[in-house]
């Protein structure tokens, strides 16, 4: 299979490229490093099937030769990034997705959109099934991401309906693992970095809000199964097991052996209270569910962060 992976140098994209190459596929990774670093794909550059194109997919997406699949991940993804890059985020969800769909249509390739649990906004239904239409503030600060992804979904569904493109949508819930950026603002990298630096772990609000945490290897498996299925989705991919932010901070403190105290800071605006996928559809259609214990995933992620913090010259203290 020859797959184009937009956003392939990002956290999830780099794991996906690795997996496609390991299966004997050819990968055209397209990225402009807007929210990632070339280091994420350094280890892939010598693989015979790996090709890299530095390109802003919002401006156009041109790939020579045959293409069997287009997997569209390119978009700022963490709240820190999309709040800092609101217009690029809206463009990635609109023009970027349009360009990726056009490439799939032109090459008669399968198309997979990486949508998000943020499509549900601050949900009033728990857990969230795919049939829930969401509760999104269309003009709040987070809308640049939520609404961009909702537009991406509408566009993908329209290409499938009207042009017959074999296009599918997955809604990804919180995913974690090695190669997340230490400064991406999400709870896991933030807590791990604070714990390793022996700084207080900053819990937003009272820490009772929950997230469900899926290890990246499991997520990539789900993406590939969805790509192989004939279903258009949307299909939720995530871990149905909820963890409070307070429990997560305690867990990371224990696994890092840190003596950092826990402290609280204000919650960001429109921060969802609970997030938990209903993965009945993924189980039925894809025979998929997460299998990696969260604790194993946290250990792998902590090990990666220890390496990065020391090579970046930010030594652990204390």
| Count of residues that bind ligand NAD according to CB under 6 A | 27
Residue 98's Cα: distance from chain center in Å? 19
Is 146 near ligand NAD (CB under 6 A)?
no
Distance CA 267, CA 278 (A): 25
Report the residue from 18, 56, 130, 217 that binds ligand NAD according to the rule CB under 6 A: 56
When asked if residue 97 is in the footprint of ligand NAD (CB under 6 A), the reply is no
Residue 164: cis peptide before it, omega within 30 degrees of 0? no
> 82, 120, 145, 215: which is the annotated catalytic residue?
145
Binding-site member from 4, 36, 107, 235 for ligand NAD (CB under 6 A): 36
Cite the beta strand spans of the chain per DSSP E: 2-6, 26-31, 50-54, 69-72, 110-116, 167-172, 175-176, 201-204, 210-212, 214-215, 235-237, 242-244, 262-265
Residue tagged 């990225």 (tokens): 31
145 is catalytic: yes
> What contacts 163, CB < 8 A, 6 or more positions away?
105
Give the nearest distance from C-beta 176 to ligand NAD in angstroms: 7
Q: 275 and 218 in contact (C-beta within 8 Å)?
A: no
The reply on whether position 38 binds ligand NAD by CB under 6 A is no
Of the candidate residues 71, 74, 227, 249, the single one contacting ligand NAD (CB under 6 A): 74
Report in angstroms how near the CB of residue 182 gets to ligand NAD at its nearest: 12
Among positions 20, 29, 34, 90, the unique one binding ligand NAD when judged by CB under 6 A = 34
Q: How far is the CB of 272 from ligand NAD (least distance, A)?
A: 12
Q: Site mask, ligand NAD, residues 186-225, x = CB under 6 A? A: ----------------------------------------
What residues contact 284, with CB distance under 8 A and at least 6 apart? Answer: none
- Evaluated on CA atoms 103, 184, 289, 143, the torsion sign reads negative
Only one residue has tokens 């950026």, namely 181
> Reduced to 3 states, what is the DSSP secondary structure of residue 316?
coil
CB of 60 vs ligand NAD, minimal distance in Å: 10
Choices 170-178, 199-207, 252-260, 306-314; region in contact with ligand NAD by CB under 6 A: 170-178
Answer for which of 77, 101, 144, 220 binds ligand NAD (CB under 6 A) is 77
For the chain, give percent helix, strand, coil, nearest 5.
40, 20, 40
Q: Which is nearer to ligand NAD, 261 or 307 (CB)?
A: 307
Q: CB–CB of 170/234 below 8 Å?
A: yes
Given the complex with ligand NAD, which of 80 and 309 has the nearer CB atom?
80
**With binding defined as CB under 6 A, does residue 226 bind ligand NAD?**
no
- Tokens describing residue 140: 């709040």
Active-site residue numbers?
A: 145
Give residues in contact with ligand NAD (CB under 6 A).
7, 9-13, 31-36, 56-58, 73-77, 92, 96, 114, 116, 172, 174-175
């Amino acid at each position: 299979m020859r797959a184009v992976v937009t956003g392939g140098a990002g956290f999830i994209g780099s794991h996906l490229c690795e997996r496609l190459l390991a299966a004997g596929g050819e990968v055209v990774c397209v990225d402009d490093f807007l929210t990632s670093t070339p280091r994420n794909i350094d280890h892939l550059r010598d693989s015979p099937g790996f090709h890299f194109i530095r390109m802003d997919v919002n401006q156009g997406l041109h790939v020579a030769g045959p293409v069997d699949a287009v997997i569209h991940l390119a978009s700022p993804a963490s709240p820190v990034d999309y709040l800092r890059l609101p217009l690029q985020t809206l463009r990635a969800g609109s023009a970027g997705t349009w360009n990726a769909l056009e490439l799939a249509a032109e090459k008669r390739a399968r198309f997979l959109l990486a949508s998000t649990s943020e499509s549900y906004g601050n949900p009033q239904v728990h857990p969230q099934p795919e049939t829930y239409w969401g509760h999104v503030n269309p003009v709040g600060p987070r809308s640049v991401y939520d609404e961009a992804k909702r537009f991406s979904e509408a566009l993908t569904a329209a290409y499938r309906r009207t042009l017959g493109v074999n296009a599918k949508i997955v809604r990804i819930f919180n995913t974690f693992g090695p190669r997340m950026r230490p400064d991406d603002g999400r709870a896991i990298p933030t807590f791990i970095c604070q714990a390793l630096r022996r700084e207080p772990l900053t819990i937003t609000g009272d820490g009772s809000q929950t997230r469900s945490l899926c290890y990246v290897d499991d997520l990539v498996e789900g993406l590939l199964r969805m790509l192989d299925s004939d279903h258009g989705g949307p299909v939720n991919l995530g871990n149905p097991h909820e963890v409070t932010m307070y429990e997560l901070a305690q867990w990371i403190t224990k696994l890092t052996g840190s003596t950092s105290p826990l402290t609280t800071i204000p919650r960001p605006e429109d921060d969802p209270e609970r997030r938990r996928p209903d993965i009945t559809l993924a189980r039925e259609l894809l025979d998929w569910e997460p299998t990696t214990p969260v604790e194993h995933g946290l250990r792998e992620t902590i090990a990666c962060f220890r390496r990065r913090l020391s090579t970046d010259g930010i030594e652990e203290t204390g």
